[in-house]
Structure 1
């Protein structure tokens, strides 16, 4: 009777928890994806500011916006993701998640408000860089906290969370495509451009509020309460071996046996150290680092430089990068993140799993020999179809293997340590991003002059 009660869990009615976790995944990366795709807006805003202040085009200051954006995004992501691995011991997850989402909302509200405010270019650049720093700081804490929280649920919910993150990229890519097509079809005035930019930045504000409401609703659902409460106390069935259960059930008056049981129960209430958890998940941590290091080493630094062979079609030439690079990547990455909910192969104990992760290194030379103007290498794979096929496999494997890593890691530790495992995995995920972004500078020098 006791065992059946503790083994059974309530149903996820209407898949409400699944939907909420998916929305949390979307909200986690949707603001940052919108920020990245606004690169053209920020560069043009700095140029407009220079013209407004009477500075000639030849004398305009080069702010090197894109390089600084990359630097000031990866650094806080790495530092604060590491901090979050220890922060959970002092700050409750509810406080971390709520504060991060509120920070997201105010930072994007500030960015939206600045659309209609004339500012000196230096001031605007400084405010933008500070926004990038703090939004990535908040994003690091948010991702680490949510990965740890989602790790308390069954493995398929980790897959749903990462699928939501993949969908965020699709929204951003579609927004970029709409902006390109809009600019192609008509020459808008400055007020219209400001209105479009204002609406663009209000979108992640609304999405962030929706994400916060979903998170606040989560603890009130019976299905989520079951798994969240289970992390607070281990069941006797999980604590005891069959011999111990027999002692407890058949000999309740045996004080010595009960003493052993109580000792085990008290011991299990203490969370393992960060190092102890890492020793159990180190292979998954290294695998997720390798997955994202390979991805960021070529995407987008190499992929955005690939050009179409159909130069005669000017419209296709303008949307080629958006469609074949960003949209293909995000759609196939989402498909890869969703696939583990259907099949999970290789298994977490298989030697094929790290082999599959390492096999993604082949995409680096394949993308290097696509049609890249100014490349030192011959364009052996110059056709558009070849590039799309490579991008599809490249992005699908990224989403699939990354999702498996994040889903497998919590399975290797106790329920009490799932949050620690999730935070550590997020740190190594971001470490992979930082390594890949750093390696991309060297790779760029090897490919073109």
Structure 2
């Protein structure tokens, strides 16, 4: 039997693998610009040695991301998801190009002016993140859980692939003049092209997949107003009603009710990222000590975190390895706070091998627990409620990141700035 949107039910099985690939690419694009800025942190440490760029840029990014997602989550029921996501990816593209413009215009020189310019771009990345990540998670919450898993795997892949590219560029340019700068320029040239690809894929390919049209049509029949433009882009112009009852406004749970019903999941996400961002990237970039790897040490640490974060996001796909218990999730997430004394004592007394191992476990647990929470939470609701809950999950995730990057400054207590 066809759904109210006119899409036959078997269509939900068509294009599944294509949808998973596109979700992965769109997740990759949602964080690639920001991860590129983090990954070339060693370059910014040389250009702006007294301004703590790895910490300041993150601290600039997060308030804009958090305030923007707060506004968007509050008004999510009235927001055109298609325009929201296209604006976000387009802003990522333009901001990435501006990193290149600032670098070329200043010839890679430091100073207050270029630093302020980079901070403004970092703020733009935060705004774009809130538009894309909240919009995509809200949209994908209408669909099968594996699509959210693929999107979050793409988020992690952006870190892993940028770290890999950073290792390659560092090796290629380390003996040349301005090697770090050449690597940074190449980084954001690749990033800009990738963000443009995401704009085109989301605009012209993703909405035309049968599985995507099926679940968006289903959500529309349940009262969702956010998917209308995407349905039109997919070739469905109207959502005809089945009977008179469909003409009446459909009741849905309020955001407050959704928060109360899912408070443990929301707190879980916040705690995951409070802990992670209190260590990564600021502590790893500036406070993890000096070892035999020299200037490679920070780059390798960040690469190890990103690679294992990506691995962790695929572990729940293995049967029997996903934590489904709400209490089990909370206990596992709280236990991660043991990383704080572990990193502190490893920095003071441990070798670089122990630090690399700890960083890998930090990334693995971050990716694994994030996917466990995100795939478990948005279930059992109608389309409008699923979209709202997806936005709330991202709100609490970004809130945890904001708190984490603020707490990261506590590692500097007792040290000379």
- Runs of 5+ consecutive residues of structure 2 not aligned to the other structure: 224-242
**3-state DSSP of counterpart to 2:294:** helix
**3-state DSSP of counterpart to 1:152:** coil
Q: Corresponding residue for 2:66?
A: 78
Select between 300-309 and 86-95 the one with higher mean Cα deviation: 300-309
User: Per-residue displacement from partner, 1:54-90 (whole Å, max 9, x unpaired)?
Assistant: xxxxxxxx55544432321111011011111023233
| Offset at residue 171 of structure 1 (A) | 1.8
> Is residue 311–residue 367 contact of structure 2 (8 Å, CA) maintained in 1?
yes
Q: Corresponding residue for 2:340?
A: 364
Q: Is 1:435 matched up with 2:416?
A: no
Q: Is 1:13 matched up with 2:15?
A: yes
Q: Corresponding residue for 1:395?
A: 363
CA change 1:298–1:96 in 2 (3 A) is: same
Please, what TM-score do these two structures have when normalized by structure 2? 0.84
| Offset at residue 13 of structure 1 (A) | 3.3
Q: Corresponding residue for 2:267?
A: 286
Which of the two has higher C-alpha Rg? 1
Matches of 2:17 and 2:127, distance apart in 1: 31
Q: Corresponding residue for 1:240?
A: none
| Offset at residue 317 of structure 1 (A) | 3.1
Q: Corresponding residue for 1:206?
A: 193
Q: Corresponding residue for 2:98?
A: 110
Matches of 2:128 and 2:244, distance apart in 1: 41
> Is residue 170–residue 183 contact of structure 2 (8 Å, CA) maintained in 1?
no
- Runs of 5+ consecutive residues of structure 1 not aligned to the other structure: 48-61, 236-260, 373-378
| Offset at residue 20 of structure 1 (A) | 0.3
CA change 1:127–1:322 in 2 (3 A) is: closer
> Is residue 9–residue 214 contact of structure 2 (8 Å, CA) maintained in 1?
no
> Is residue 302–residue 367 contact of structure 1 (8 Å, CA) maintained in 2?
no
User: Per-residue displacement from partner, 1:211-252 (whole Å, max 9, x unpaired)?
Assistant: 1122121111111111111111149xxxxxxxxxxxxxxxxx
From 95, 118, 122, the equivalent of 1:128 is 118
Select between 38-47 and 275-284 the one with higher mean Cα deviation: 38-47
> Is residue 346–residue 352 contact of structure 1 (8 Å, CA) maintained in 2?
no
Q: How many residue pairs get matched?
A: 391
> Is residue 101–residue 142 contact of structure 1 (8 Å, CA) maintained in 2?
yes
User: Per-residue displacement from partner, 1:359-386 (whole Å, max 9, x unpaired)?
Assistant: 11111111111034xxxxxx2xx13333
CA change 1:29–1:16 in 2 (3 A) is: same
> Is residue 19–residue 211 contact of structure 2 (8 Å, CA) maintained in 1?
yes
| Offset at residue 347 of structure 1 (A) | 4.8
**3-state DSSP of counterpart to 2:221:** coil
Matches of 1:352 and 1:395, distance apart in 2: 19
Please, what TM-score do these two structures have when normalized by structure 1? 0.79
Q: Is 1:153 matched up with 2:129?
A: no
| Offset at residue 196 of structure 1 (A) | 4.3
For the aligned residue pairs, the C-alpha RMSD in angstroms reads: 2.9
**3-state DSSP of counterpart to 2:12:** coil
| Offset at residue 8 of structure 1 (A) | 4.9
From 313, 318, 334, the equivalent of 2:310 is 334
Matches of 2:333 and 2:278, distance apart in 1: 15
Select between 73-82 and 120-129 the one with higher mean Cα deviation: 120-129
Q: Corresponding residue for 1:30?
A: 32
